[in-house]
Amino acid sequence: MSEFSRERGRPRGAGATADRTRETAPAGKRAPGNAGAPGERRGTSAQGRERRSGKREGTPGGTSLKEVVAEIDRDILRLLLRRHNLLERMRGGKPRLDAAEEKFLREAWQKAVSRVSRDADLSGRFFALMQDAAFLPRPAAEDQEADARGADAAPAVERREAFNLAPPRKPLELSLRSPLACREARAWLFLAAASGQPLRLAPCLMNDPLVDLLKALNPMGAAVTREQDAVIARAAEPLGCPDKVLYLGDSIWNLFLLLAFYVGRPSRAKFLGETELKLADLSSTRRFLPQLGARFINVIPRSSGLPARLECSGIVPGRVDLPPDVPGELGAALLLAAPFWEREFTLGLAGHPQRERVIAFALPLLQAAAVSVAERDGAVSVRPGVPVLPLEPALPMDAGLAAFLLSLPMPLGGDVRLEGAWPSGPDADAAWELLRALGVPVEASPARGGTVGVKLEAPRRAARLSTVPPATLARLSGRLAPLPLALAACAALGGAEADAPATVLEALRCPPELAADFFSAAGLVLAGDALRPGPELQDGGKPFVGPAWNAPSPAWALALALAACARPGRCHGLRLGNPGVLTALYPGFWALYNALPRPVPRRRDGAEEAPSAREHRRIRTAMVAVLPPEHEAEE
């Protein structure tokens, strides 16, 4: 799966709630806002309602089965909230739970599950989700009223507002430096740390994946720091392979970079990560690494993700073919780490579905670092040698983020200019073809280091995805798959023709349920192949406010933000429940979005200009300095 689609960013400390639950309440009393097991609290469980009403579930005049299941789900959610508050108390302000305590909870959960189910997802993945679940903070009004009325009073009900997306419907005047590619930035940072050479990358997209890699490289002996929007690697000893526990955040690209570096020499390490890496299916990687003389061991039984231990012999064969089920990111990481190995290494990619993407990413980067690399018949050969890195390598713009910014004139009209070089590769080429196929006249200019722009006198209307070549849609990775659906939503909200047939969703590898949820959050209905506004947006109805939607990835949050630009006049806005999923990847996006249609880019992503050094002035005079006479001391 694509790196962008796996990196579901999460803001630091998101969902950390102060534990206000009264867990020491007397027996028979419940803390407000939390519930015990289903059936414990009177008036809450479905069984209690049945006993009081005398009506059976699913019978005429009684409670329907779907209502009972929905109530049970709400009880489970209350228990999860109570569990979350207790975990916050156990952590005591630390970012993670102690290993011994987490092991105890995991083993107790697996023992309980084994008595009722043999589902590995229930015993493993469900526990990981419970450990990392995030909840909204308790509303202030609820706290005040609960404290005033006592612990036994029912808490006040207050709707927690989501992030409202309602930019002005005015033509754009947007000119800024495009967000630079984060994967390339981390690749250059890895090469600089591994070779011990100085390097400076600016302006960087200072997001969570880049910061997590920076923190993981320093314990290995690197000298990398961040200064405002720049990442600086200072001259130091080449990177070593210490036997350490390395924290990698939520990025699978960070994992594969360090894993590939350790593989080349006798070493061992332990990797930790957040929810995405805990739930990642790394079984194909585990089966492949023995061909490289390494062993990848999952620490948690019946788990296929992190935490995991890596044990490497350092004996790497001269050629290895990458199996089709192994992620292409691992192949690219092996090629970047191969110059630091003892012998020439050849990676066969002929049968891999991501062969073009891996070659387009790794070869230009290695060639720019003066590494001897050659590609022939779908196999890439890398000779060992110390790379020669430029002091300030040029980074292309991030195709996934830049394509969404270039799409803004379609619902709003106006002019968008992004400074930077458009990247190469199947993903970027497919995004370029998609925009042009839907009538967005994107153009590139090589002047002044490169500029990519779009200018539309009026908003573009129709967006029939059935007219886009299926090959173009199939080449879009996970970080760009929501873009065509967002453009179709913009056309439908504007009253123009738009469609999203099942063949398009299949080419985009997008589940129909996910597409339906996105269209529903935008106030649209997919009827057959046609996309139309829902009944709430029809003429004569009440003003519409979109339901709060939690985007599953940064790309889907961008898609909803783009669709909100085309909302009709009767729509007060579309609501996003988790804006932090995008902030962790693109920290400055919401400030830019809220300042439309004419945002003023801040200096270096908000970095203030450093005050100039104070000049020391020398005062010259024509007068001669004369010391005052000294009085002789009397004897």
Which residues belong to CATH 3.65.10.10 in the chain?
182-382, 399-594
**Dist. CA 468–CA 142, nearest whole Å:** 51
Three-state DSSP string of 30-55? CCCCCCCCCCCCCCCCHHHHHHHHCC
Q: Is the pLDDT confidence value at 147 over 70?
A: no
**Dist. CA 625–CA 332, nearest whole Å:** 74
Instruction: With beta carbons less than 8 A apart as the criterion, state whether 23 and 48 touch.
Output: no
Third-level CATH fold of 399-594: UDP-n-acetylglucosamine1-carboxyvinyl-transferase; Chain (3.65.10)
Contacts of residue 631, defined as CB under 8 A and 6 or more positions apart, other chains included, come to none
**Dist. CA 428–CA 477, nearest whole Å:** 9
Q: What's the token pair of residue 596?
A: 């439309």
**Dist. CA 500–CA 528, nearest whole Å:** 9
pLDDT band per the 50, 70, 90 thresholds, residue 96 = confident
**SS3 assignment, position 479:** coil
Instruction: Report which DSSP code applies to 24.
Output: T
Lowest mean pLDDT among 32-46, 196-210, 574-588, 596-610: 32-46
Instruction: With beta carbons less than 8 A apart as the criterion, state whether 418 and 445 touch.
Output: no
**Dist. CA 598–CA 495, nearest whole Å:** 26
C-alpha closest to that of 596 among 193, 222, 37, 168:
168
**Dist. CA 187–CA 336, nearest whole Å:** 8
Q: Which residue is listed with tokens 């909100």? A: 564
Instruction: Report which DSSP code applies to 246.
Output: E
Q: Is the pLDDT confidence value at 591 over 70?
A: yes
Lowest mean pLDDT among 300-304, 389-393, 467-471, 503-507: 300-304
C-alpha closest to that of 473 among 530, 434, 524, 500:
434
**Dist. CA 421–CA 439, nearest whole Å:** 22
C-alpha closest to that of 291 among 252, 328, 255, 331:
331
In this structure, what are the phi and psi dihedrals at residue 451, rounded to the nearest 5 degrees?
-145, 135
- Quick: pLDDT tens for 541-561: 677 787 899 999 999 999 999
Higher per-residue confidence, 55 vs 588: 588
pLDDT band per the 50, 70, 90 thresholds, residue 540 = low
Lowest mean pLDDT among 129-138, 321-330, 611-620: 611-620
> How would DSSP label each residue in 444-476?
EE-GGG-EEEEEESS----EEGGGS-HHHHHT-
pLDDT band per the 50, 70, 90 thresholds, residue 37 = very low
- Quick: pLDDT tens for 215-274: 999 999 999 999 988 999 999 999 999 999 999 999 999 999 999 999 999 999 999 999
Instruction: With beta carbons less than 8 A apart as the criterion, state whether 240 and 221 touch.
Output: yes
C-alpha closest to that of 170 among 406, 436, 415:
415
- What confidence score (pLDDT) does residue 391 get? 95
- What confidence score (pLDDT) does residue 629 get? 58
- What confidence score (pLDDT) does residue 27 get? 38
H or E element: which one contains 520? helix 512-521
pLDDT band per the 50, 70, 90 thresholds, residue 303 = confident
pLDDT band per the 50, 70, 90 thresholds, residue 448 = low
Mean pLDDT of 590-602: 88
Third-level CATH fold of 182-382: UDP-n-acetylglucosamine1-carboxyvinyl-transferase; Chain (3.65.10)
Mean pLDDT of 505-531: 94
- What confidence score (pLDDT) does residue 574 get? 93
Exposure string over 62-84, b if 16+ CB within 10 A, otherwise e: bbeeeebeebeeebeebbebbeb
Rg (the chain; Cα; Å):
29
- What confidence score (pLDDT) does residue 158 get? 43
pTM tops 0.85, yes or no: no
Sign of the alpha-carbon dihedral angle for 329, 437, 176, 174: negative
**Dist. CA 206–CA 587, nearest whole Å:** 7
96-105, 463-472, 565-574, range with greatest mean pLDDT = 463-472
- What confidence score (pLDDT) does residue 99 get? 85
Mean pLDDT of 272-298: 95
- What confidence score (pLDDT) does residue 22 get? 36
ω before 301 within 30° of 0 (cis)?
no
**SS3 assignment, position 275:** helix
